[in-house]
Amino acid sequence: MNGGTLEDRVEAFVKWLFEGHQTAVPRSSKVINDSLLGNQYISQAEVAVVDSPLIQRLKRIKQTGLAYQVFPSATHTRFEHCLGACTLAERCFTAIKERFDVELPRDVFPASGDRLKGDLAHVRMAALLHDVGHGFCSHASEQIYEVLTDIQEFKGRPAFTKNAPGEILSHLIVKSPTFRNWFTEFVIKECHSEIDLDTVAQIILGSHPRKELYFLSQIVSSPYDADKLDYIARDSYYCGLALTVDLARFYGMISITKHRGFHLCVFR
């Protein structure tokens, strides 16, 4: 795994992860109960991804790194965080759509709310996969590998300059040939999903190939994304700290506006 480009090494890692993995195609969608968010509805295609070694690996990565040494109950993992981010991404999407439909009833909402193959499916999938690039102890190890020269080289590219190393790795993992082949065979063919992995990989980086759908990437990666909504609530809950996020107000205020052809998330 030592030689080659960063993409080669990421591919070698994903290959190693999937080695010997027997994929059982899920029979249906699932409802997963979460201590924080309650019932979470996961589509058949998402269940396949959740059951894959990529997401299962996250069960071994503590969400708050070494914080459990000080806050003993902070033993929650990246796994439940990714499921939570997926659910909250849909809640953000729905809140934006509802507000749009009320304020601009004659306009057509730019994104499709289909949970199986539409833009919503892409946002949910991106939220589910956004942290697959995390290493041991989460952000604690990120501080080490962000100084690696090939990560630095990626940070020097305009497309990656605003991204953290974990996001860059998640993007590369999603784009790796092994994962793409597995996804095509089991998610697209077997689960009849129409999700485009390139779009998912773009959303993870906080961008979108279509300007009018840019706000979808902001739901997953921006200063006020579903990721933060989940981890602020989840980390405080498991650490036993009384931090509050007024989600009702958040969903009531979030909206979109057009700027230079881009639809952007705003609060008003």
Partner 1 sequence: MAAPAYAKQEELLPDDILTALLALAKQKSGKERLAFRGHDSDLQKSFRNLSSTCGNRLLEPFVFSNSGPEPYSPVLNECFSRLQLCGLVGRENPDYEVVFLRPSAETYFTEYLSHRFSKDEMEMLGQTADCFLKVVTLA
Q: Which residues contact partner 1 (rule: CB under 8 A)?
A: 155-159, 161-162, 205-207, 211, 214, 259-262, 264
Q: Which residue blocks in 19-107 are alpha helix, DSSP H? A: 44-50, 53-56, 78-103
Cβ at position 96, least distance to partner 1 in Å:
17
Q: Which is nearer to partner 1, 43 or 221 (CB)?
A: 221
Q: Which is nearer to partner 1, 21 or 259 (CB)?
A: 259
d(CA 268, CA 258): 14
Residue 166 burial by CB count (10 A; 0-12/13-18/19+): exposed, middle or buried? buried
Cβ at position 259, least distance to partner 1 in Å:
5
Cβ at position 262, least distance to partner 1 in Å:
4
Q: Which is nearer to partner 1, 222 or 236 (CB)?
A: 222
Cβ at position 208, least distance to partner 1 in Å:
8
Q: Which is nearer to partner 1, 260 or 268 (CB)?
A: 260
Residues contacting 130, CB < 8 A, separation 6+: 82, 85, 167, 170, 204, 220, 221, 227
Give kind and range of the element (H or E) at residue 39. Answer: strand 38-42
Beta pairing class for 254-259 and 262-267: antiparallel
Q: Which DSSP category does 36 fall into? A: T
Cβ at position 207, least distance to partner 1 in Å:
3
Q: Which is nearer to partner 1, 155 or 228 (CB)?
A: 155
Cβ at position 87, least distance to partner 1 in Å:
26
Cβ at position 130, least distance to partner 1 in Å:
16
Q: Which is nearer to partner 1, 34 or 212 (CB)?
A: 212
Q: Which amino acid is at 228?
A: K
Pick from 64, 100, 102: which is nearest to 80 by CA? 64
Q: Which is nearer to partner 1, 26 or 165 (CB)?
A: 165
Residues contacting 217, CB < 8 A, separation 6+: 126, 202, 203, 205, 206, 207, 208
Q: Which residues pair with 77 in a beta bridge?
A: 62
